Amino acid sequence: MIDTPTSPVTSGLPLFFVITVTAIKQGYEDWLRHISDNEVNGAPVYVVRSGGLVTTRSKNIRVGDIVRVAKNEIFPADLVLLSSDRLDGSCHVTTASLDGETNLKTHVAVPETAVLQTVANLDTLIAVVECQQPEADLYRFMGRMTITQQMEEIVRPLGPESLLLRGARLKNTKEIFGVAVYTGMETKMALNYKSKSQKRSAVEKSMNTFLIIYLIILISEAIISTILKYTWQAEEKWDEPWYNQKTEHQRNSSKILKFISDFLAFLVLYNFIIPISLYVTVELQKFLGSFFIGWDLDLYHEESDEKAQVNTSDLNEELGQVEYVFTDKTGTLTENEMQFRECSINGTKYQEINGRLVSEGPTPDSSEGNLSYLTSLSHLNNLSHLATSSSFRTSPENGTELIKEHDLFFKAVSLCHTVQISSVQTDSIGDGPWQSSFAPAQLEYYASSPDEKALVEAAARFGIVFVGNSGEIMEVKTLGKLERYKLLHILEFDPDRRRMSVIVQAPSGEKLLFVKGAESSILPECIGGEIEKTRIHVDEFALKGLRTLCMAYRQFTSKEYEEINRRLFEARTALQQREEKLAGVFQFIEKDLILLGATAVEDKLQDKVRETIEALRMAGIKVWVLTGDKHETAVSVSLSCGHFHRTMNILELLNQKSDSECAEKLGQLARRIREDHVIQHGLVVDGTSLSLALREHEKLFMDVCRNCSAVMCCRMAPLQKAKVIRLIKISPEKPITLAIGDGANDVSMIQEAHVGIGIMGKEGRQAARNSDYAIARFKFLSKLLFVHGHFYYIRIATLVQYFFYKNVCFITPQFLYQFYCLFSQQTLYDSVYLTLYNICFTSLPILIYSLLEQHIDPHVLQNKPTLYRDISKNRQLSMKTFLYWTILGFSHAFIFFFGSYFLIGKDTSLLGNGQMFGNWTFGTLVFTVMVITVTAKMALETHFWTWINHLVTWGSILFYFVFSLFYGGILWPFLSSQNMYFVFIQLLSSGSAWFAIILMVVTCLFLDIVKKVFDRQFHPTNIEKAQLTETNSSIKCLDSMCCFSEGETACASVGRMLERVIGRCSPSHVSRSWSASDPFYTNDRSILTLSTMDSSTC
């Protein structure tokens, strides 16, 4: 049995406190998750059973149940649509919670079940649904429904258009009925749950390294003490003194067991050197500190009413360590608000100006350079007007041809899409007379792509108005005349083909195919039209940063259509290799096309994107843009947003066909980087080339990338984005990466990066929900990193090192004391002091420091991004800095112990009545000096003083004195022994003790102040220079952080000079004045700035 030098309560209470606080925090989070789970699983749903509707819970739905879902409700399982309140069996849903797309998608039921719109009819349905095994892909579903009607079996194919996914929401439809095919954890939403890998910050890794070092120190001290104990007891007079005789059992006990017992006893005595409470303080600091990000009004976006969100508080300090930023383009750098700007129709380029199409080039019979205005197709239809118009002259024949070209082009735009219109609105305009002054804005279009919405709205402005679907009929008003086209087939968009098509039957009976897609997928399939002119125009559009699509068509004969219809039916009803068969049929259909032209829509840059990217570059952060756009568009946007700039040498790795070709090109790029005497290089790489580079030439590719200050990856798939980030993460330098995006396709890279940031944009909340932090605009990234990241890193770095420092100060005197008590394991401090040192006496000052400290003004940090470099590479937690704090702790501990020993220990009769100081008085003196010194040390580290800092700093010292007076001044009945009775009162009644306390505190802090003065005078860091020198012409005094009233300089007195040297600032002295030209934010509305500020000077 081990005779422990301290009571189990003394050793166990701090550990119990740590475990309890952590358990409460984890339990609270689990409780919230439990409530959220119950809310979803217990939601009431209606199921068709025994000819009626029965209410049950969503968790009780079984495969085969027919479920009723009403408007705006969420689907509780994956359902195959049977019928809706519409005759055609269609419904509209939004899948924002699944894939981030906020626009409506149309789903349709098979004709045989679409007519079963009542519960009674559905109860008579006899059908079998066969489908594939559950899989995570949201966009893949293959199955078939065999319906038995009048003893006859009818087989219908089922695809993604028939499947209603759990988590999606029903819109613009009163109610639907669907049969459950996947439930519970087999639904596609559940299969897409990706358990987030636990992200750990660099600070946490450093903490673990430091803990291992301190564990080695603990074991070393225990071994040394045990060895010295037995060395000392080798002499008989010390082994068994006359006043402490051993028992017979002790004399006969095993020496090995006794050695192990003593070693373990010393471990218990010194175990307080391991700062267990550090973890609780870090958890509290991260949890409470995360609220400041949400409260920061500079990160609030008024237009969308969105504030910053913190989903993972464990990574606050990692915001101050970012070396690479990977960003999406659409919706992140841009607004994701598409506006139609230009188009090319049959080789003629037009742009929209004030609702009119303006031809940029000469038209037939028009003078060179004149602009021809097409206000709408109705003007084109009036040939007499065209003949007399001064701005557009053409012959009637050419005019008729021009009308036909424009008419066909805009009909393709109006018919080749998946846009929907609110059913309430279409009812009022479906058959009514169309007025030429009808504003398209009155029609509220919904589309799965903002590009489609912009194009359909543009066509409406020019006279071809899509007014909605009625079953299989698409209704279009051309110049006020209603035309009905029968929708025969939709060839859905997929990323391999990169195009979509519709086959329609025109009012005249013609079967037409309209195709829309990227120019690389359309132009090679065209055999007619102005292909070369359109290609040139598309490239010109892309250079302007516009998003381009090409339009083409094909007319089928009756025989061709019958063949196409047969092939499509066979492919869509196949259960095996359906996708491959469909791809073959689509390729067969989408060929021999006639090119109609191209469209160009603009996605505007967000506000202050250029300034933010430039600031990131100044901070030493490399910015990579990862996008799915074509390379010309991506490069143009990169140049306009400042990611690339004109003086940069742009390198390209594009259209590589083989591994050898890719390797040769990478070698050429590497040589160019070495040989070109250019300060900065930029690299453009496309998805195909990237796949080849990552397959065989990762090292060479990464070498090229690391030597480029900006990299643009275009035509990227979501998984490629994540793979690129992983490559950077595992590179030898192990840099800290940050990914920022707004769409569901950005989730993989957001989760892969060390820090993931979601933009709360127009592509839903999938990215924001899966991110660590969510902000409304890209420009907010600068303050998030340069201010919040900087502050959090400095705070937690100081917190970690301060904890190790104060625990060294705490236990080292205990170790030294063993040399004076024959290593008898006698404790120097009372057990209550051992327990409360980290919990009460020294915990609050460092916690408040870690929440409120601002060592430099937020405006200075944001206006001088280069200061971010000073904290990169985890410099504040380097081994050099850690050793300094540790050595400082040991030196202070030596001063505490030997100062007390030499000042008081030699003369134990210092009281006026001749009463002697004893062991507990000596230990209490050491403890008192230690509490005052470590608290004052925290005060020296504090630059930004608030009333809270003053309260907890000086209040902690006062609390220690008051507590000790009460603890030692009263005989507590519940304590079995009270060694400290009247000890503290006697100590404070001695003038020599007061002299010793003041002398030792001043000695410890004086050494620290001298070092600070020396470093600031001869080796100042950039941050210290920013604290001491004028960093902005609008600041009225020497200190950028600490300004004083006008007429008083920072050097007015020795006290002011000392404040400057230490870098401290009191809010009561602050008088900031910022010019309106300050970038990013002209006022500081952050709750981080706790000092009172006059709004007239902000």
Q: What element of type H or E holds 189?
A: helix 188-191
What is the distance between the alpha carbons of residues 1069 and 292, in angstroms, rounded to a whole number?
A: 23
| Distance, CA of 793 to chain centre | 18
Measured CA to CA in angstroms, residue 625 lies from 297, 685, 713, 833 at distances of 28, 11, 6, 56
User: Is the dihedral angle over the CA atoms 840, 846, 847, 849 positive or is it negative?
Assistant: positive
Closest CA to 293 of 635, 757, 632: 757
What is the distance between the alpha carbons of residues 892 and 901, in angstroms, rounded to a whole number?
A: 14
What is the distance between the alpha carbons of residues 185 and 61, in angstroms, rounded to a whole number?
A: 12
Query: Phi/psi of residue 585, each to 5°?
Result: -65, -40
Half-sphere exposure of 629 (CA within 13 A, CB side): 33
How crowded is residue 368: how many other Cβ atoms within 10 Å of its Cβ? 6
CB-based burial, 595-633: b 16+ in 10 Å, e otherwise: bbbbbbbbbebbebbbebbbbbbebebbbbbbbbbbbbb
What tokens were used for 36? 């959220």
What is the distance between the alpha carbons of residues 343 and 461, in angstroms, rounded to a whole number?
A: 14
What is the distance between the alpha carbons of residues 537 and 546, in angstroms, rounded to a whole number?
A: 11
What is the distance between the alpha carbons of residues 119 and 68, in angstroms, rounded to a whole number?
A: 9
Instruction: Give the three-class secondary structure for 501.
Output: strand
Measure the CA dihedral 322/328/332/336, to 10°.
180
Cite the DSSP H helix spans in 547-594.
558-573, 578-589
The answer to whether 328 is a known catalytic residue is yes
CB 877 within 8 A of CB 966: no
CB 124 within 8 A of CB 82: no
For 704, counting Cβ atoms within 10 Å of its Cβ (0-12 exposed, 13-18 middle, 19+ buried), the class is buried
- The residue type of 962 is V
How crowded is residue 236: how many other Cβ atoms within 10 Å of its Cβ? 8
E strands, 886-970, where?
none
List all residues 6 or more positions away from 456 whose beta carbon is below 8 Å from its beta carbon: 413, 414, 417, 419, 445, 447, 466
Instruction: Give the three-class secondary structure for 643.
Output: coil
For 717, counting Cβ atoms within 10 Å of its Cβ (0-12 exposed, 13-18 middle, 19+ buried), the class is middle
User: Is the dihedral angle over the CA atoms 229, 233, 238, 241 positive or is it negative?
Assistant: positive
What is the distance between the alpha carbons of residues 83 and 183, in angstroms, rounded to a whole number?
A: 20
How crowded is residue 804: how many other Cβ atoms within 10 Å of its Cβ? 23
Distance separating the N- and C-terminal Cα atoms of the chain: 69
Among the listed residues 78, 296, 298, 328, the single catalytic one is 328
Instruction: Give the three-class secondary structure for 104.
Output: strand
What tokens were used for 86? 């519409």
Half-sphere exposure of 248 (CA within 13 A, CB side): 0
List all residues 6 or more positions away from 1056 whose beta carbon is below 8 Å from its beta carbon: 1044, 1049, 1050
Closest CA to 408 of 450, 446, 462: 462
Beta-ladder partners of 1042? none
- The residue type of 222 is A
Residue pointed to by tokens 């250019």: 678
Instruction: Give the three-class secondary structure for 1059.
Output: helix
The residues that are catalytic are 328
